[in-house]
Amino acid sequence: MRNGTNGDAGATRREILKRCVAGVGVAAFANVGGILSDARAFAASVRETQAGKKETAKAEPEPVAEPDAATEREFPARFDLRLTKRRARSTDSYTQGLVFEVDSETGREILYESGGQYGKSSLRKIDHESGDILQEYRFSKRYFAEGIAVVDDRIFALTWKERVCFVFDKKTFEILAEFRYYGEGWGLAFDAETQTLAMSDGTSKIRVLDAKTFERRRAFDVFYLDANGKKRKLVNLNELEFVNGELWANVYQTNKIVRIDPASGRVLQAIDFSQIVPNSLRGSWDYVLNGIAFDGAKKRLFITGKCWPTLFEFSAIPDKTAAKSV
């Protein structure tokens, strides 16, 4: 989510984009650390975000399946995230989805990226080392591209309000199929262990979908515990990524990424990435933190934002201590 809409407002924001991305500086940053947010501070930041949000996603009501408590497992209390590299990237992509993969034929490290905005939406295959765009698909002006997920030889790509998920051939970028869904499409991630897709729609809800048929298996609400120990739903969940069996999510219009237990929906940790926000984009409602990719083999985490000039690479080392809900 979400910047341009059709009309004057979208055009104005596009002009802002042109001015913002020129000569953007990167904040000095050495070590995010795996800081576990205080529940009271986290709750306050969520309320502030909700109050300041210009647009709230709406989804049709859907019964939520209660997760099976027996499927819950222990996760590390925190991740020690150490910044290892910064890579320059194109600033013309309003990043919605990001996936890392090693090409099985060439061994080349690849990033697949979806970029949004009406008239500018795209799907790209990018050489991770050089940043070169190897392949690109441009969506019709009627579509606002959203999150993506790579499933074997296919790429699933959501759209914001158009209620269609396109399925692309990963090699040719040819459209193979289309799936329909209700409400809005925001983030998408593939869980290889369960062969399912997790999908967000800007609310607190995560839909779990069959990766072959796109049919709904279940759904759950993401929640955290407030200062009084009460469950509070966490809304504005955006870009998604599975990391060591956990579901990680950008919280739209904040600098936080939350770690989520996908069995229960509880927030395990909120990690603040404020220190890597480009100086010229601090305080922006549009060009915010968004984009999570994970290299499971080398335990590397890749983080960026909408039209950001830099892709940040972290080593992701889990703490062995069992996690508690935030």
Cis peptide before 2 (omega within 30 of 0): yes
- For the segment 8-23, the average pLDDT, to the nearest whole number, is 39
Beta-bridged to residue 43, according to DSSP, are none
Q: Which pLDDT score, from 0 to 100, does residue 320 have?
A: 59
**By mean pLDDT, which of 13-17, 21-25, 295-299 is the weakest?**
21-25
Assigned domain for 326 exists = no
Please answer whether residues 216 and 209 qualify as being in contact, where contact means their C-beta atoms are separated by less than 8 angstroms. yes
Q: Which pLDDT score, from 0 to 100, does residue 73 have?
A: 62
**By mean pLDDT, which of 7-16, 113-122, 138-147 is the weakest?**
7-16
Mean pLDDT (the chain) is 80
Split into its structural domains, the chain has a count of: 1
- Residue 220 CA to residue 34 CA, distance in Å, equals 26
Q: Is the pLDDT of residue 106 over 70?
A: yes
Assigned domain for 290 exists = yes
Assigned domain for 2 exists = no
Q: Please calculate the CA angle 18-293-110 and round it to the nearest 5 degrees.
A: 85
Is the pTM higher than 0.85? The answer reads: no
Q: Is the pLDDT of residue 56 over 60?
A: no
- Residue 60 CA to residue 43 CA, distance in Å, equals 26
Assigned domain for 234 exists = yes
Assigned domain for 325 exists = no
Place of tokens 């090699």: 171
Please answer whether residues 273 and 238 qualify as being in contact, where contact means their C-beta atoms are separated by less than 8 angstroms. no
Q: Where are the alpha helices (DSSP H) in the chain?
A: 8-20, 39-52
Q: Which pLDDT score, from 0 to 100, does residue 253 have?
A: 86
Assigned domain for 281 exists = yes
Query: Tell me, what CATH number does 178's domain have?
Result: 2.40.128.630
Residue ranges making up the domain that contains 33: 8-318
Q: Is the pLDDT of residue 135 over 80?
A: yes
- Residue 108 CA to residue 105 CA, distance in Å, equals 8
Question: Which carries the bigger pLDDT value, residue 31 or residue 279?
Answer: 279
Q: Which pLDDT score, from 0 to 100, does residue 105 have?
A: 86
Assigned domain for 53 exists = yes
Q: Is the pLDDT of residue 28 over 50?
A: no
Assigned domain for 161 exists = yes
Q: Which pLDDT score, from 0 to 100, does residue 54 have?
A: 37
- For the segment 37-55, the average pLDDT, to the nearest whole number, is 45
**By mean pLDDT, which of 46-60, 197-211, 235-249, 253-267 is the weakest?**
46-60
- Residue 214 CA to residue 222 CA, distance in Å, equals 21
Q: Which pLDDT score, from 0 to 100, does residue 22 have?
A: 36
Beta-bridged to residue 83, according to DSSP, are 314
Radius of gyration from C-alpha coordinates of the chain = 18
- Residue 210 CA to residue 217 CA, distance in Å, equals 6
